[in-house]
Structure 1
Amino acid sequence: MISETRRRAYLDAMQVASWLPRTELPFAAPSRPELLQPLIDPEPEPAQPITAAATVAEGPAEQAPASTAPAVRPEKPQLRVVMPEPKKPEPVVAPEVPAEQQKPVEPPPRFALQLLRAGNVLLLVELPTGESFQSRDPAYILLKDLLRAARLPDKPQQVGDGEPIRWPLLHRGSLDQSGDAARDYVQGVLAGELEQMGCACLWLIGLPALRFAGEVEAEACYRELNIEGIGPALAMPGLEHLMEQPGSKARLWQAMRRSMPRWVVGLNTDMNDR
């Protein structure tokens, strides 16, 4: 037999918390009486059959305690806040414009003009091909004949960088390409050149030059104009028109003779000063 101290050490090592010896051990501590009671579960009581009479009889009895229980307060109904639906914006109806008042959308004008200088005359000439004049172009040869007849140098000089005035302008972003914008642009180029070096008269040759520099149509050809902010100008038909209709050259010569004193007198004065 081992001592009680060593026995408990063994049991603790085996993690045994409760144990009961089969026989009385010498030198052992007295056993606890609750450990000696048999570990037998009590038998459950047999269930009693439920009959209809018992159910009816027990009904009031079961309801009786319910009457003594504290009354349950009814839950307050929660208020729901209903937001009104947003009103849909009514479609804006554009006022109907009569068909006779509707202005058709016109495409931007397309033209190319060359700005030249011959003596004390400034020339704004429509380019028939859209490109700068070449020495062998029939239109350029006719222009040189007109300058010689007007007693002006027959080799006109290009103004600025020599690039034609083209429309529409090709720029990034939105840009007004209408006829009014083209007119302001052409007149602005002329005003800038006249500010640097004036002239005795401006020749407007071709319909685009008449429209966007002189604000006139083809009916104003063979006449002298006075353009606000620019000065006197001579309206002339296009070079191609003069080549196709030889009879128009006689009318142009008459108009040039009437306006010639403007640039011939100025030219003679410049030569006397030298």
Structure 2
Amino acid sequence: MITESRRRAFLNAMQITTWLPRAELPFAAPSRPELLQIVETVSAPAPVVELRPTPQPSRSTAPEPAAAATAASASPAADAVRSVMPRIAVPEPKKPAAKAREAQVVAAEQKAAVPPPRFALQLLRAGNVLLLVELPTGESFQSRDPAYILLKDLLRAARLPDSPQQVGDGEPIRWPLLHRGSLDQGGEAARDYVQGVVAAELEQMGCACLWLIGSPALRFAGEVEADACYRELTIEGLGVALTMPGLEQLMEQPGSKAQLWRAMRRSMPRWVIGLSGSTSSVHE
């Protein structure tokens, strides 16, 4: 059974604003009674239209003189000219509704042409810091993973507990949610889903700083690209975040650890009280 915070984020990603469960859900927020009220609508009666019979002309009525004169004035030469002149088809102007439908079809085709993003993120907590970490293998961290060992080194260097705790049910944040169907699973929907999960955790327990580790975390939580690392961001609804490269990139480029350490030292007063003059170092 998923938690209430992840359930709300899942429904928001599917653009579902109002829903009622078939049975009582454990750990769920209470239902709102106003959603169960049935509002009866009173329809106005249809207007009554009186139909009057149309008078039929009598069979003995003779054709009018003007119509007879017009028919007699048509000459064979005029008929020949009309038969020789070509006919030009003029297209009818498109109606606004047809243009709107055509624009919707084009937009849907463009969205279908772009594949949805694919990533896996793990939400962890170490002391008063919340971590959103890209999973290099797509699966949860194991104790002997090199990326997890590097993450523990970063936490020790930042004077934080080096055994981060999983948040919620411990399942990674995966995207796309569904492999089939017509649900919009583009970049904007992924951003709303990731930010919704993080915001729900912050409602339950705040944090002094949010660490965004890896390109998917920066893009879909911080709304910045992968090159915006080693700095602080203020994200609406999420607070202050420190951007970092992925753990695999740190292992492949040892020189980037020094740049990361300088950024961590600048932000360390946010989560450490009473800093001493001594410093730590990140394990190479």
Corresponding residue number in structure 1 for 2:252: 244
Identity of aligned residues (%): 85
CA contact (8 A) 2:191 2:221 kept: yes
Within 2, Cα distance between the matches of 1:129 and 1:146? 19
1:140 aligns with 2:140: no
- CA shift, 1:174, in A, is 2.9
Match of 1:191 in 2: 199
Going from structure 1 to structure 2, the CA distance change for 1:267 and 1:133 (only over 3 Å counts) comes to: farther
Q: Secondary structure at the match of 2:121?
A: strand
Structure (1 or 2) with the larger CA radius of gyration: 1
SS at match of 1:128: coil
Q: Structure 1 residues 135, 259: CA separation in 2 closer, same or farther (over 3 Å shift)?
A: same
1:161 is matched by which residue type in structure 2? Answer: D
Do structure 1's residue 109 and structure 2's residue 120 form an aligned pair? no
Q: SS in structure 2 opposite 1:221?
A: coil
1:228 matched to 2:236? The reply is: yes
For residues 163 and 150 of structure 1, the distance between their equivalents in structure 2, rounded to whole angstroms, comes to 25
User: Does structure 2 conserve the Cα–Cα contact (< 8 Å) formed by 1:120 and 1:266?
Assistant: no
Q: Which residue of 2 aligns with 1:70?
A: none
Residues in 2 aligned to 1:226 and 1:219: alpha-carbon distance in whole angstroms? 17
Aligned AA for 1:183? R
CA contact (8 A) 1:120 1:267 kept: no
Residues in 1 aligned to 2:147 and 2:176: alpha-carbon distance in whole angstroms: 23
Pairwise mapping of residues 1-274 of structure 1 onto structure 2 (< 5 A)? 105-170=113-178, 173-265=181-273
The one of the two structures with greater contact order (alpha-carbon pairs below 8 A, sep at least 6) is 2
In angstroms, what is the RMSD of aligned CA positions? 2.9
- Deviation string, structure 1 residues 159-198 (Cα, Å, up to 9, x no partner): 0000000000027753110100000000000110000000
Gaps of at least 5 residues in structure 1 are 1-75, 77-88, 269-274
Cα distance in structure 1, aligned partners of 2:114 and 2:249: 25
TM-score (norm 1): 0.60
TM-score (ref. length: structure 2): 0.58
